[in-house]
Amino acid sequence: MYDNFFTFFVFLNTITLAMNKYGMDSELEGYLELFNMYFTYIFIYEMFVKIAGIGLNKYLADTMNYMDGSIVMASIFEVLYMGLGDGEDQSALSTLRVLRAVRVFRMLRLLRNLESMQTILNVMARSYMSFVYITGLMFLFIIIFTLLGMSTYGGYWKNDPLGIPPNNFDSFGYAFFT
């Protein structure tokens, strides 16, 4: 029940992180910063109560706690940096804020609780070499169709009055991505 309670907060934090966008107004940005600080304190509380409740050895026995603990430590570092900084070095702070996106990986906790998802992941792990071969085969098809497109449509837009579009077949790079 304890883990499920805090998984709900992870879900809410993921929604809050997804609301961040370029060009948002300062009021929304202020609210998102406030919510981020609340979530940071909630996750710090969760980690230390969990360590106090089950002990450090049992906490470290679960590999998911390594990921959670490192994310919380990065959040603690961010809070300390913001508290000790004088606000002049904003470029380093904005780079540090990218670490918040790592919190989204805490949603992987849900995979541990879903048996059907664990079965799918185990099958994928056992058959990863098949995926490598399929990926290689698909890459070969892409190269073949790139060369086919270059021979068929190469130079097609040379005399176009609007100019050559960026998705053309005149060079291998453009044809590959087109």
- One domain for residues 173 and 88: no
62-72 b/e (C-beta count within 10 Å ≥ 16 → b): eeebeebbebb
Q: Would you give the DSSP letter of residue 124?
A: H
Q: Is residue 120 part of a domain?
A: no
- One domain for residues 100 and 144: no
- One domain for residues 43 and 97: yes
Residue span of the structural domain in which 64 resides: 2-113
- One domain for residues 102 and 30: yes
Q: Is the pLDDT of residue 87 over 60?
A: no
Query: pLDDT-derived band of residue 139, with 50, 70 and 90 as boundaries?
Result: very high
Q: Is residue 25 part of a domain?
A: yes
- One domain for residues 106 and 133: no
Question: What predicted TM-score, i.e. pTM, was given to this entire model?
Answer: 0.57
Two tokens at 144? 């073949």
Contact 17, 104 (CB under 8 A): yes
* Number of domains within the chain: 2
Give the model confidence (pLDDT) of 98-118 as tens digits.
666 666 667 776 666 677 777
Provide, rounded to the nearest whole percent, the portion of the chain with pLDDT above 70.
84
